[in-house]
């Protein structure tokens, strides 16, 4: 959202420098993403009077002599006190006031370009000198119109006056981050924003008169029933199917001449639309847009006669209802929309004429033949409109405001102001306010506020701060009864009031104080992971992090069943569609890339959470989460058996944590074991409990992942490490005797070891090399015996 400081200053008396104001707005209202300084954007642009305009035959050009008042521009000659300029616009004529971009000035529309365009002297049709240019709205960056130059109302200015002074264009535009105002629909209009700025500055906000009184209607024209204000004997019928979808619907029939006409003269309203990021379209649309920017209340104008014709009625019969699923409506932009049952429709006698809050229907669009306008100011369910926004992708200024929850209290006054601005004649007017109006009243005490903030604000300051922005405060014993104005739909509990006080007076004025010192418990899982990281780094392994989301293809490559993975329905890409079942496949995916880098040899590992559907749900009905450590080594040139290096790393990990494990032949049934080759892998057990797998990968897996021959890894359950790790470690001091023992056998290492252990019950036995002579069945297994 864009906020013009000049416009803001019309509603609040601001005496501090702009920088300080921006700082305070940032600190106490909303994040200011940027400030566009337009102080010099309109330098050297002047109001001039076209004294003569002579059409050059057979061209679109007009030779103009302009009165530039007292302005003297270097190298711009005056003849009879007039400057010569050529103009291509069809609407240029003698006697008009126009905007002249003098030679040397930058064309405002090009200010933000890399090479801003500087106007100079040109010679046209080889003989006409032209100094500067008469500007159209688009060149001034104040609209999109390029059909003609802008014309200024004669009473507004004199030749030679700076254009920027006349239209208050020496301005700064604040770029506001909308997200932090999600709960503040009132701040999506300049008045609401200005009210907050007044509050921040400690000033009482003067509510614009039109918001509290209406002045359009003749005496006796209106009557009031409950909350609703309508014309006596109105012929407009309004039926709202459900108060929840449309709390209030206010509308009027207005007689108007030439509704598509653009205003002849360029106006302040044009500049405000432009500064707010919109642009002039037609008289009626401009007024509705302007009032939306000013008040936050969007308006919509239908063709009154079409409205009745479509519904087959002589007077409007407005029915507001939710759409039937699949019901179709053609919108203003020509698109045909298929509704969902959450969309709200404005219908004429049940025939859809508008998608509420989003866009009007094509069948009731205003055109040059429109004689009566049917103007609507309503509020709708933000929940329904949010769904409309999402399912149809409509992101207009209006729906952005509606989805914040526009308060119902403002529709009538904004409608009345629109009628005044349009300058049409009100024929009829009706209003249906479905809710009982009750103001939000919150009870809060001065102590409660100070206790939560850590402040010592006194009662008088709190009352003044709140009443400055429209809260009504009554005292009730030791408590304050704070009555929120209708536009503060976000106020419900005492903490909301505390927030207002803290914010308006500035959180930065609250002293930071540390609470008392505490003692914390260590989290063993974090301590363990830190130890593992230390260990791995010491032994040359690199810690990696990879995505929790993997592709179905990756699971298949690793031999895992995709049905065992939770599937993301709105994933960014097929690469990120499933939640992984183990860590190793993600690392294998990185192995090929790293070998290509190239890194000749490496060990990478990751500790992270995994999920599998087979694990089921925990007591909170959310999927059971497991912590897993995956590890992979790879080398490009090594011809040895990779398994043993991976096993050495795994064994080191258990040794560090003082856990005794057994390596047993692999069955290969568990999901994390699927990529591992059963003939070249082992399951790891702590006593009888399975803790993980270490080994090489299946040939098919190696092919799929494009792995070099020397690659192996392991995956272990971190929670079991945590369960079995211990501080216990026996260290034997003293002189040690070491001897080697070699056994020739056809048994496995483990079987041979069992025999050796029997012979040396008290010794520490370490593995030595294994040798097998060519043509022999038996192997020579060497053991180092340390006594």
Partner 1 sequence: MNELEKLKQELKKINAEAVGVKDLPVEKRAEFGRKINTKKAEILAKIAEAEKALLDVDAEPIDVTAWSGTNEAMPEFYPTEFGSKHPLMTELDRVIEIYQMMGFDVMESRQLDDEFHMFDSLNFAKEHPARDGYDTFRTEEGLIPPAHTSTMEHRALKKYKYKLEKGEPIAVVIPGRVYRNEDVDATHEHTFYQCEGMFVSKDCTLGNMLGVLREFFERYYEQKLEIRTQPGYFPFTEPSVELLIEKPKSLGGKKGDWLEMLGCGMTHPNVLKMAGIDPTVYHGFAWGGGIERLVLLKYALGDIRLFESGNLNFLREFN
Return the number of the residue (59 or 509) whose C-beta is nearest partner 1. Answer: 509
Return the number of the residue (350 or 700) whose C-beta is nearest partner 1. Answer: 700
Return the number of the residue (221 or 547) whose C-beta is nearest partner 1. Answer: 547
- What tokens appear for 160 in the block? 């030679």
Return the number of the residue (336 or 518) whose C-beta is nearest partner 1. Answer: 518
Would you tell me how many other CB atoms lie within 10 Å of the CB of residue 778? Answer: 12
DSSP state of 117: P
Give least dist CB 681 to partner 1, A.
Answer: 7
Evaluate whether 695 touches 677 at the Cβ level (below 8 Å): yes
Evaluate whether 119 touches 104 at the Cβ level (below 8 Å): yes
Closest CA to 430 of 671, 681, 161, 248: 248
DSSP string, 384-443: HHHHHHHHHT---HHHHHHTT---GGGHHHHHHHHHHHHT-EEEEEEEEE-SPP---EEE
Run of H or E residues at 785 = strand 779-786
Return the number of the residue (221 or 566) whose C-beta is nearest partner 1. Answer: 566
Return the number of the residue (271 or 403) whose C-beta is nearest partner 1. Answer: 403
Give least dist CB 57 to partner 1, A.
Answer: 57
Place of tokens 């479905």: 434
Give least dist CB 7 to partner 1, A.
Answer: 22
Give least dist CB 23 to partner 1, A.
Answer: 9
Give least dist CB 426 to partner 1, A.
Answer: 35
Residue 251 CA, distance from chain mean position? 34
Give least dist CB 341 to partner 1, A.
Answer: 14
Return the number of the residue (418 or 693) whose C-beta is nearest partner 1. Answer: 693
Residue 344 and residue 320: Cα distance in Å, rounded? 7
Q: Is 124 left (phi over 0), alpha (psi -120 to 50) or beta?
A: beta
Residue 656 and residue 202: Cα distance in Å, rounded? 65
Residue 308 and residue 329: Cα distance in Å, rounded? 17
Residue 89 and residue 136: Cα distance in Å, rounded? 8
Taking CA atoms, 720 is separated from 395, 525, 654, in Å, by 51, 11, 11
- Phi, psi (degrees; rounded to nearest 5) at 671: -60, -40
Return the number of the residue (183 or 328) whose C-beta is nearest partner 1. Answer: 183
Return the number of the residue (96 or 634) whose C-beta is nearest partner 1. Answer: 634
Q: Is 110 helix (H, G, I), strand (E, B) or coil?
A: helix
Return the number of the residue (56 or 452) whose C-beta is nearest partner 1. Answer: 452
Taking CA atoms, 497 is separated from 161, 446, 467, 471, 473, in Å, by 49, 10, 12, 10, 11
DSSP state of 190: H
Give least dist CB 713 to partner 1, A.
Answer: 14
- Per-residue b or e along 414-443, where b marks 16 or more CB atoms closer than 10 Å to that residue's CB: bbbbbbbbbebebebbbbbbbeeeeebebe
Residue 308 and residue 314: Cα distance in Å, rounded? 6
Would you tell me how many other CB atoms lie within 10 Å of the CB of residue 562? Answer: 16
Return the number of the residue (545 or 732) whose C-beta is nearest partner 1. Answer: 545
Give least dist CB 558 to partner 1, A.
Answer: 12
Return the number of the residue (350 or 744) whose C-beta is nearest partner 1. Answer: 744
Evaluate whether 6 touches 168 at the Cβ level (below 8 Å): yes
Give least dist CB 5 to partner 1, A.
Answer: 18
Return the number of the residue (248 or 698) whose C-beta is nearest partner 1. Answer: 698
Residue 714 and residue 509: Cα distance in Å, rounded? 56
Query: Using CB atoms within 10 A of its CB, is residue 215 exposed (0-12), middle (13-18) or buried (19+)?
Result: exposed
Residue 500 and residue 498: Cα distance in Å, rounded? 5
Return the number of the residue (347 or 455) whose C-beta is nearest partner 1. Answer: 455
């Amino acid at each position: 959202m864009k906020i013009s400081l000049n416009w803001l200053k019309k509603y609040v008396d601001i005496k501090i420098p702009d920088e300080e104001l921006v700082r305070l707005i940032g600190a106490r209202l909303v994040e200011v993403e940027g400030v566009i300084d337009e102080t010099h954007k309109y330098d050297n642009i002047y109001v001039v009077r076209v004294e003569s305009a002579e059409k050059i035959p057979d061209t679109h050009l007009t030779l103009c002599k302009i009165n530039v008042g007292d302005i003297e521009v270097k190298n711009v000659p005056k003849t009879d006190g007039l400057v010569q300029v050529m103009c291509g616009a069809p609407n240029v004529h003698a006697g008009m006031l126009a905007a002249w971009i003098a030679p040397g000035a930058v064309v405002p529309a090009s200010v933000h370009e890399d090479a801003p365009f500087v106007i100079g002297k040109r010679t046209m049709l080889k003989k006409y000198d032209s100094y500067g240019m008469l500007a159209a709205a688009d060149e001034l960056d104040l609209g999109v119109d390029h059909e003609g130059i802008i014309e200024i109302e004669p009473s507004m200015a004199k030749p030679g006056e700076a254009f920027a002074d006349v239209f208050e264009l020496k301005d700064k535009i604040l770029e506001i981050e909308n997200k932090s105002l999600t709960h503040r629909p009132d701040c999506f209009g300049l008045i609401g924003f200005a009210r907050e700025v007044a509050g921040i500055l400690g000033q009482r906000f003067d509510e614009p008169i039109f918001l509290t009184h209406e002045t359009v209607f003749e005496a006796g024209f209106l009557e009031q029933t409950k909350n609703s204000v309508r014309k006596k004997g109105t012929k407009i019928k309004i039926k709202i199917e459900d108060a929840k979808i449309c709390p209030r619907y206010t509308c009027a029939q207005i007689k108007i001449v030439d509704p598509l006409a653009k205003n002849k003269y360029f106006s302040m309203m044009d500049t405000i639309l432009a500064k707010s990021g919109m642009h002039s379209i037609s008289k009626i649309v401009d007024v509705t847009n302007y009032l939306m920017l000013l008040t936050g209340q969007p308006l919509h104008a239908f063709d009154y006669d079409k409205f009745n014709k479509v519904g087959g009625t002589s007077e409007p019969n407005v029915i507001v209802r939710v759409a039937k699923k699949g019901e179709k409506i053609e919108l203003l932009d020509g698109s045909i929309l298929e509704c969902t049952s959450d969309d709200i429709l404005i219908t004429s006698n049940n025939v859809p004429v508008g998608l509420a809050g989003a866009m009007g229907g094509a069948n009731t669009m205003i055109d040059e033949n429109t004689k009566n306008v049917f103007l609507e100011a309503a509020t709708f369910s933000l929940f329904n409109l949010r769904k409309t926004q999402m399912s149809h992708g409509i992101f207009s200024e209006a729906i952005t405001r509606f989805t914040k929850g526009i308060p119902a209290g403002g529709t009538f006054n904004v409608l009345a102001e629109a009628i005044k601005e349009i300058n049409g004649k009100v024929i009829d007017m009706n209003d249906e306010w479905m809710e009982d109006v009750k103001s939000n009243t919150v009870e809060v005490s001065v102590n409660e506020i100070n206790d939560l903030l850590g402040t010592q604000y006194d009662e008088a300051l709190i009352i003044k701060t709140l009443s400055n922005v429209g809260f009504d405060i009554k005292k009730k014993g030791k408590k304050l009864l704070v009555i929120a104005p209708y536009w503060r739909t976000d106020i419900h509990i005492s903490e909301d009031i505390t927030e207002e006080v803290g914010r308006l007076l500035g959180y930065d004025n609250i002293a930071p104080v540390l609470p008392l010192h505490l003692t914390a418990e260590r989290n063993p899982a974090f301590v363990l992971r830190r130890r593992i990281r230390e260990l791995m780094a010491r032994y040359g392994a690199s810690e990696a992090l990879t995505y929790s989301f993997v592709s179905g293809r990756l699971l298949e490559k690793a031999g895992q069943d995709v049905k065992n993975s939770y599937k993301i329905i709105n994933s960014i890409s097929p690469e990120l569609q499933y939640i992984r079942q183990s860590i190793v496949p993600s690392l294998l995916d990185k192995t090929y890339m790293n070998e290509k880098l190239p890194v000749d040899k490496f060990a990478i590992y990751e500790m992270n959470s995994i999920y599998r559907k087979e694990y089921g749900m925990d007591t909170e009905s959310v999927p059971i989460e497991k912590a897993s450590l995956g590890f992979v080594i790879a080398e490009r040139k090594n011809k040895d058996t990779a398994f043993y290096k991976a096993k050495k790393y795994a064994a080191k990990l258990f040794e560090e944590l003082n856990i005794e494990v057994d390596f047993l032949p692999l069955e290969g049934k568990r999901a994390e074991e699927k990529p591992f080759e059963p003939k070249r892998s082992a399951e790891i057990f702590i006593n009888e409990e399975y803790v993980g797998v270490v080994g090489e990968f299946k040939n098919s897996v190696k092919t799929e992942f494009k792995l070099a021959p020397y690659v192996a890894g392991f995956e272990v359950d971190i929670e079991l490490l945590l369960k079995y790790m211990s501080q216990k470690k026996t260290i034997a001091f003293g002189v040690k005797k070491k001897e080697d023992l070699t056994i020739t056998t056809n048994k496995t290492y483990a079987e041979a070891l069992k025999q050796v252990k029997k012979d040396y019950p008290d010794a520490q036995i370490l593995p030595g090399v294994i040798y097998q002579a060519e043509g022999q069945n038996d192997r020579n297994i060497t053991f180092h015996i340390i006594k």
